[in-house]
Amino acid sequence: MGGWAALLGGLGGVAICFAMLIALISAFQPVADLTWVWGNLVIGVVLLGSALVASFETLRERLGSGESRRASRYGTSALVSTLLGIAILGMLAFLVTRYTTRWDWTEQKVHTLTDQTQKVLDGLDRDVQVTAFFSELQAPPVRDLLQMYQFASDRVVLEFANPNARPDLILKYDIDEAMLSRGLVRIALGDDAVLVSEFTEPKITNALVQLSRSSDKKVYFLTGHNERVIDGEDAEGKEGFKEAAQALRNENYEVANLLIAQFGDVPEDADVVVLAGPTRRLPPEEISALDRYVARGGALLVLLDPRANTNVAEVLERWDISVGDDIIVDLQLAFFQQYFSPFAGAYAANHPITKEMGEQQDPTLFHNARSVQASDGDDSVYVVLVYTGDKSWAERDIEQFESSGQVGFGGDDLKGPVPVAIAGEIASQDGAGADEDGASPARIVVVGDSDFATNEFMVRYGGNRDLFVNSVNWLLGDVEAISVRPHQSRASRFVGSQQEVQAIQYLSIFVLPEAIAVLGVAAWWWRRKSPGR
């Protein structure tokens, strides 16, 4: 077969091969309709038929020659080799479906579940039924995410259901069909279930936490002293705490405001009380209420800015915590040479709040921070969580700085690294580990800055989010929940319509490979017909 017949035969073979390949792929995962298969098949048959007609006499002469017998032997060997290769590939495909292994070679590990999620999965004591309602075109991105959960834990039982094909499940779970337009994930643990419509790891893990935790815990934010706000219009600004409050809600904690003057005391259901940047003095009645709360084993998170016009620093002194009347300066580890916005230089490796933070790439950034340390210098009660850099110091002559605008280490300044956050247990007045009623000792975390947990910094720096949320986790005793949260910026994704996704699938799986094969046949035919070949 030569000339134009060879070209027609090669192109016909390519069309028939792709028709069979597409049909085989579609049998396992519907990604192409029959029009594509039949179109290739018809074109292939027409082209092969044309090639046979054009070279009929040549083929008849060669069939009777010795050359045909040799070609037959070589052809048989090639056919056997091809069939053996297909059999090996089929066996490998069978083994892959039975035994799965995953590798994630991305720099940010965007295809690996975070430590926080893994801890939640490891803590499951019952099977979790995950039912994903998606059409075939919607399923792939969500399938990848949910299969990571299934691979990470034998407790996750995953099922994908096409809403159009499984109306029985929709009726069984009493799901509103209006919620299925963009897909839906139902996560059930026993008789309890949560519906998830945002398909991200934080949302899926939060649903698991919500189901697995037996009781809600409540975090109160103290108000009435010009603290940072967690709701309302002001909470959404750069200096608000809306993101901080939402981060706690994502941990399945209940968040609320607390005006002690309204209740007369700290409520009994308060698991943690947060003092977020107060700038006014606490009246004696509220200080007494906090004393009673600590005496019964409460937990405090205190975020105190430099030069804050409040008596909170005096209150902390009674628990042997010293908050310096200073401002931290760092000429090296600073945000674009803004010397009063230092990055964290080191974290405590032996404390649950920060032991995993030293390995992360997202830094913790403070803004206008002050030093915090134990009054007597004893590190057996309080642990310094975060230090600033070696070249930093705590500037104590603030009046001189405000008048001249110049700073420099000297005098009574505290040489760096400067402690900017500490954590520990507040000992009872008799020095015992628990009060006379048997309550656990109170816990406290103090950070010499409240700006680090504002919306501006919580969104931009993952280390800020981790320090804030991990602190609350530890205060609540949820040590197993402490981890480095997923980065805000994940791997880039294209979100298109069903038609766009289908077009991309056709182009990448069928059109481009077949076009390459056609070009290959054309190149072979051109070289074959060239002079001297």
For the CA atoms of 339, 341, 347, 351, the dihedral, rounded to the nearest 10 degrees, stands at 140
What's the whole-number average pLDDT of the chain? 81
Cα separation, 195 vs 253, in Å, equals 18
Q: Which of 50-54, 174-178, 303-307, 413-417 has the highest mean pLDDT?
A: 303-307
Are residue 31 and residue 55 in the same domain, yes or no? Answer: yes
pLDDT of residue 31: 54
Asked whether 44 and 52 are in contact (CB, 8 A), the reply is no
- For residues 248 and 286, membership in a common domain is answered with yes
* pLDDT level of residue 57 (50, 70, 90 thresholds): low
What integer is the mean pLDDT of 129-146? 85
Q: Kindly state the tokens that stand for 92.
A: 């490998």
CATH code of the domain containing 177: 3.40.30.10
Whether 238 contacts 450, CB under 8 Å: no
**pLDDT: which is higher, 250 or 108:** 250
22, part of any domain: yes
Higher pLDDT, 349 or 136: 349
Same domain, yes or no: 473 and 502: no
Answer for the pair 270, 289: CB distance below 8 angstroms, yes or no.
no
Same domain, residue pair 120 and 57: no
Determine contact, residues 5/55, Cβ cutoff 8 Å.
Answer: yes
3-state DSSP assignment of residue 418: coil
- 135 or 215: whose pLDDT is higher? 135
What CA–CA distance (Å, rounded) separates 250 from 268?
A: 23
Over residues 480-490, the mean pLDDT reads 56
Q: Is the dihedral of CA 303, 304, 309, 312 positive or negative?
A: positive
Asked if 211 and 127 count as a contact pair (C-beta separation under 8 A), the reply is no
Quote the pLDDT of residue 361. Answer: 61
How confident is the model over 155-175, as pLDDT tens digits?
999 999 888 888 898 888 888
**Least trusted range by pLDDT, from 51-65, 295-309, 512-526:** 51-65
Q: Produce one character per residue of 144-173: b if its CB has 16 or more CB atoms within 10 Å, e if not.
A: ebbebbbebbebbebebbebeeeeebbeee
| Rounded average pLDDT over 321-330 | 93
Residue 89's contacts (CB-CB under 8 Å, 6 or more residues apart) are none
> Do the domain assignments include residue 108?
no
> Has residue 488 been placed in a domain?
no
Torsion of CA 138, 142, 143, 149, to 10 degrees: -170
Residue at a domain's end among 173, 203, 233: 203
End-to-end CA distance of the chain: 15
Q: Rounded CA gap, 431 and 232, in Å? A: 42
C-beta neighbour count of 508 within 10 angstroms = 10
What tens digit of pLDDT does each residue of 175-219 get? 877 778 788 899 998 888 888 888 888 888 878 887 876 557 899
Kindly state the average pLDDT of the residues 112-119: 81
pLDDT reading at 236 higher than 80 = yes
pLDDT of residue 432: 42
Q: Domain limits at 516?
A: 4-100+497-529
**One domain for residues 336 and 247:** yes
pLDDT at 326: 93
Lowest mean per-residue pLDDT among 41-45, 199-203, 424-428, 480-484: 480-484
Do 91 and 173 belong to one domain? no
**Banded pLDDT at 490 (limits 50, 70, 90):** very low
From 142, 174, 203, the end of a domain falls on 203
Of 422 and 76, which is predicted with more confidence? 422
As beta bridge partners, residue 146 has none
Distance of CA 510 to the CA centre of its chain: 33
Task: Identify the sign of the CA torsion 366, 456, 471, 187.
Answer: negative
β partners of residue 425? 443
Considering only residues 510 and 339, tell me which one the structure prediction assigns the higher pLDDT: 339
pLDDT in tens, 354-382: 988 876 667 899 999 999 999 876 666 89
| CA quadruple 396, 394, 348, 381: dihedral, nearest 10 | -10
Q: Are residues 472 and 372 in the same domain?
A: yes
In a domain, 107, yes or no: no
Beta strands in 260-381 (DSSP E): 272-276, 299-303, 321-323, 327-330, 334-335, 338-342, 346-347, 372-374
Q: Is 209 part of a structural domain of the chain? A: no
CA distance 303 to 351: 19
Residue 261 lies in a domain: yes
Q: State the total domains in the chain.
A: 3
Beta-bridge partner residues of 295: none
Within this chain, do residues 348 and 459 fall inside the same structural domain, yes or no? yes
Integer Cα distance of 50 and 9 in angstroms = 8
b/e string for 262-299 if b means 16 or more Cβ within 10 A? eeeebeeebbbbbbbbbeeebeeebbebbeebbbebbb
Tell whether 110 is covered by a domain.
no
Element (H, E) at 184: strand 184-189
| Residues 159 and 241 both lie in one domain | no
CATH number at 375 reads 3.40.50.880
Q: What is the DSSP letter of 232?
A: S
- Domain final residue pick, 142, 172, 203: 203
How much is the average pLDDT of 419-434?
Answer: 71
pLDDT over 70 for what percent of the chain?
77
- Residue 105 belongs to a domain: no
Q: Give residue-wise pLDDT tens across range 387-410.
A: 999 989 999 887 776 666 677 788
Query: Is residue 504 scored above 60 in pLDDT?
Result: yes
Dump pLDDT digits (tens) for 457-481: 988 888 898 899 999 999 998 776 6
Mean pLDDT to the nearest integer, 78-105? 68
Number of neighbouring beta carbons within 10 Å of residue 108: 13
Do both 357 and 326 map to the same domain?
yes
State whether 180 and 227 are in the same domain. no
Q: Which pLDDT score, from 0 to 100, does residue 331 have?
A: 83
Q: What is the number of other CB atoms lying within 10 angstroms of the CB of residue 184?
A: 23
Say if CB 213 and CB 205 are below 8 A apart.
no
The answer on 347 and 239 residing in a single domain is yes
Q: What DSSP line would sit under 210-261, residue for residue? A: HHH-SS-EEEEEE-SSS---SSSSGGGSTT--HHHHHHHHTTTEEEEEE-HH
CA distance 458 to 303: 14
Higher pLDDT, 237 or 4: 237
